[in-house]
Structure 1
Amino acid sequence: MMHSALSRWTMSYFAAALFFFVGAQVLMVVGYGFPSVAAEAPETLVVVHMVTIGWHSLLMCGALFQFVPVLIARPLRGEGLVLPALLCLLAGLGCLLGGFIELSGAFETGVPLLAFAGVLLPAGFVLAAYVLGGTLWGARLPLPARFVTVGLPSMLVTALLGALFALLLSGYLPALAEFDFRAQALPVHIAIGLGGWLSFSAIGVSYRLLPMFMLSPDKERRSSKIVWWAGAIALLLVALATPLASLFGTPDVAPSARVVAVLLGGISLVFYGIDLAFFYRHRKRRAVELNSHAAKGAFLALVLSATLLLALLASGTVEQHAGALLYLVAFGWLSGLGLSQLYKIVPFLTWLECYGPVMGKKPTPRVQDLVAEPRDRIWFVAYFLCVTVGAAALLAEQPGLFRIAAGGTLLATLAIVTELVLARRLKNVPYAQRAPEGVLPPRLFLPRTH
């Protein structure tokens, strides 16, 4: 990693992702979307897609553009398509959000915004998948890369279903309106998006980042292979159960397949937990840095999410409390892991960009000198605490308490983002080491032109 090439646009993906994450939280604090309105309301769809596409997907794409070449020791292929992918995703997301706002009755443009989104967003994801898939193609794939190979087709399936929803709402696919496409496809869209594209890819990345940052053994273990196989089969069952049941006229098969998928998903999570415990227990870096400490909050949120899902399935209240479950997954597990790892990735890439070229030639700071862990610890504690309170408020159907909790997560997020900006500006580095001769300070989120 120390000598690997830096992806030119990764910081741009991160900056755009954080912008949408903060924006979504602002809307939640002011009461825009669920739970102030129904879960299927256009206002809720605005917030949901700001989080899932604007925050999670842009963050994941930016991270994979940097780390997939590291995973397989091969340069990124088709790097010239990384920027067009970002522009398509941003333009498509803008059209999608505008289309949802238009559906809410806030304004009317006469422009088929949702139809444009149904073209631009899949185009952006296809470009991203082409770059990442082309880089992986033909390479010897270590375990983390194999997780990504499941995540990429999951991303495309999610994007395809989303495009069909957008075109259906625009009135361009009347044939889909003849049967209950929403009831059949929406659960798959959510499960494959959150479970396959985002969670499975995040697990794969964590199998590389945690051992790297904690200096833990990263040799493939039998438990890790069980995580991959059980999770991949579970996702395949979720994706194929409904269409195969419809094709062969056996509707009773789909619920059974989903039960098996839940069991396999549970097995995958159990063995993932075993691997995480192994990484932390056998680390060579005795002093655990803040990013690895904070990641424990995300892993705990993942456990709580799985426990809550089982409880809701047992009580038959999944539909009633789906909002609380999805909030815990999106903000506790995925967002918590994203923020915790950004806290290390951004300083790490900044250090490589600034001090990598002069390493061994001039005195350089440590990577951890680019951040101030003691003052930032409280913000991660506050973030996960407020997410927990927010999920509990949704379960108790207390929208006022949820908005207060959302305000806490927003405040913590802004503090962490501020720290990332300070790291990019080298503000925590002692002045004598901040800009020695030959060291150029980085641009905030755009690559240098030379």
Structure 2
Amino acid sequence: MIGVNLSRWTLSYFAAALFALVVAQGLMVAGYGFPTADLRAPETLVLVHLVTIGWLSLLLCGALFQFVPVLVAHGLYSDTLPLPALVFLVAGLLFLLAGFLQLADVFSGGPTLFFLAAILLTGGFLIVIYNLGRTLWAARPLSLPARFVAIALGALGMTVFLGVIYTLTLGAALNSGALTALTGPTLPLHVIGGLCGWLSFAAIGVSYRLLAMFMLAPELDGWRPHTGFWLGTAALSIALLGGPACLYLRGSITPALVLSGILGLAALGLYGADSVHLYRARKRRIIELNSQMAALALASLGAVVLLGLVFLGFGLFEEQIGAIVFLAAFGWLTGLGLAKLYKIVAFLTWLECYGPVLGKTVTPRVQDLVVESRARRWFILYYLSVWAATAALLISSPIVFRFSAAIMLLATLAIILELVRARRLADVVENLRFPAGVVRPYLLLSSAETK
């Protein structure tokens, strides 16, 4: 990656995302939203969208602006569009949260909050889809990881479409009977499109490349990852396209959900097998902390699947859906996100600072920007607290959940501090920190190039 462009605003996306994560965890510690409130209560919707849009989506957008060009060996279509996209997404999220707070009777107002939220969020996500879509289109034929991202962008588009319908309906700005009829029955599709299609499918695609790159493992391109891709694509297509069709033709989306679930489980099984193969086939015998912690995220994903199947078998799936979604959001997606952020921030900082002088002077290694022994305890504490919080939800113990969320928050803040230290080069030995030609990097911005 020496000589490639760095996405100028990627670190700004990361900072905004981490801020949203901390706020969401703080609200959980305070007992705001689920499990104290109902899953569909406005307070819970505040939490859900802080996590899915504010944390996970901003994190993924920032990462994709940097790594899609790496996946396709082609420059990002526009280096200027990420900034307006970020402004639109943050502003839209704020209006959306304000609308939910209005529904919770925190303050009174008119329907314009939801209308503005719909306009801004749609605009922000469309800019993201357009910028990344044009980048992928110009780099055809696409590698397997890039195809995962392409499908994820399609799922994002459908998720946004359904979200706009819900938002305008809540704001009393939508009078179409055909569209408002979608708001209740298609809520599972909105969740599937967001968590499974957009966030998980893109994370899977990027993880194929990052796991191989960071562990020095051969990139997978055989029948198994390709079969997993097509099974996952079919599952998402059946859910997000077949679901609404079933709703209008038969009055129920259940057939689409069942078939989609079967195909999705098969795809996840193949992805799990691929992940195990990457760990076993790696050339780096002692793997770095980010890859170790990514394994715990993958284990959490396996636990999500196992719990889902068990509760389905016992007819308790709807009763325990909150715990399952929580583990998927915080054990799988957030765990993987924090683990990879720990490497990505150090890696991008190293590229920006030392890439231009590599070969001209003595420079530190990427791993010299971090202290893994210090960070390991916080990552382990984070995962233990997530699993404890999941157990608390399963046994319906809000007090234990809030205590576990407090530990989650503590661990998250400590991990964020590790990211800041890496960005500030605080742990690089003094005589290697600023050789000739190296300047202190900005905390929230990257320079345009590493040449």
Fold conserved (TM > 0.5)?
yes
Distance in 2, matches of 1:197 and 1:32, equals 26
- TM-score (normalizing by structure 1): 0.97
Distance apart, 1:319 and its partner CA: 1.8
Q: Which residue of 2 aligns with 1:70?
A: 70
Distance apart, 1:381 and its partner CA: 0.8
Distance in 2, matches of 1:60 and 1:352, equals 20
Query: Helix, strand or coil: the match of 2:3?
Result: coil
Residue 442 (1) aligns with residue 437 (2): no
Matches within 5 A, 1:341-360: 341-360=340-359
Query: Helix, strand or coil: the match of 1:374?
Result: helix
Q: Which residue of 2 aligns with 1:147?
A: 148
Task: Say what the alpha-carbon RMSD is for the aligned residues.
Answer: 1.5
Amino acid in structure 1 at the alignment position of 2:212: P
Distance apart, 1:182 and its partner CA: 2.8
Q: Which residue of 2 aligns with 1:334?
A: 333
Q: Which residue of 2 aligns with 1:190?
A: 191
Moved more, 22-31 or 254-263: 254-263
Q: Is the 8 A contact 2:68 2:146 kept in 1?
A: yes
- TM-score (normalizing by structure 2): 0.97
Amino acid in structure 1 at the alignment position of 2:99: G
Q: 5+ residue gaps in structure 1?
A: none
Distance in 1, matches of 2:130 and 2:150, equals 12
Distance in 1, matches of 2:85 and 2:177, equals 28
Amino acid in structure 2 at the alignment position of 1:435: F
Residue 424 (1) aligns with residue 423 (2): yes
Distance apart, 1:266 and its partner CA: 1.1
Amino acid in structure 2 at the alignment position of 1:75: G
Distance in 2, matches of 1:246 and 1:18, equals 38
Distance apart, 1:179 and its partner CA: 6.0
Q: Is the 8 A contact 1:29 1:407 kept in 2?
A: yes
Change in 2 beyond 3 A, CA 1:375/1:171: same
Q: Is the 8 A contact 1:184 1:242 kept in 2?
A: no
Q: Is the 8 A contact 1:45 1:100 kept in 2?
A: yes
Q: Which residue of 1 aligns with 2:163?
A: 162
Residue 94 (1) aligns with residue 94 (2): yes
Moved more, 281-290 or 176-185: 176-185
Distance in 1, matches of 2:251 and 2:107, equals 41
Distance in 2, matches of 1:429 and 1:210, equals 25
CA offsets, 1:253-287, max 9 Å, x none? x3233222111111111111111111111111111
CA offsets, 1:356-377, max 9 Å, x none? 0000001110101111000111
Q: Which residue of 2 aligns with 1:173?
A: 174
Q: Is the 8 A contact 2:165 2:179 kept in 1?
A: no
Matches within 5 A, 1:266-345: 266-345=265-344
Distance apart, 1:448 and its partner CA: 5.3
Change in 2 beyond 3 A, CA 1:204/1:111: same
Residue 236 (1) aligns with residue 245 (2): no
Change in 2 beyond 3 A, CA 1:45/1:371: same
Residue-pair matches, total: 448
Amino acid in structure 2 at the alignment position of 1:265: G
Matches within 5 A, 1:43-62: 43-62=43-62
Distance apart, 1:446 and its partner CA: 2.7
Q: Is the 8 A contact 2:352 2:447 kept in 1?
A: no
Q: Indicate the percent of aligned positions where both proteins have the same amino acid.
A: 51
Q: Which residue of 1 aligns with 2:381?
A: 382
Q: Is the 8 A contact 2:42 2:101 kept in 1?
A: yes
Query: Helix, strand or coil: the match of 1:137?
Result: helix
Q: Name which structure has the greater RCO, CA cutoff 8 Å, separation 6+.
A: 2
Distance in 1, matches of 2:351 and 2:179, equals 55
Q: Which residue of 1 aligns with 2:32?
A: 32
Query: Helix, strand or coil: the match of 2:130?
Result: helix
Amino acid in structure 2 at the alignment position of 1:23: V
Distance apart, 1:315 and its partner CA: 1.9
Query: Helix, strand or coil: the match of 1:338?
Result: helix
Distance apart, 1:2 and its partner CA: 2.5
Distance in 1, matches of 2:130 and 2:239, equals 24
Distance in 1, matches of 2:216 and 2:177, equals 52
Q: Which residue of 2 aligns with 1:199?
A: 200
Change in 2 beyond 3 A, CA 1:101/1:362: same
Distance in 2, matches of 1:310 and 1:241, equals 23
Q: Which residue of 1 aligns with 2:209?
A: 208
Amino acid in structure 2 at the alignment position of 1:60: L
Q: Which residue of 1 aligns with 2:41?
A: 41
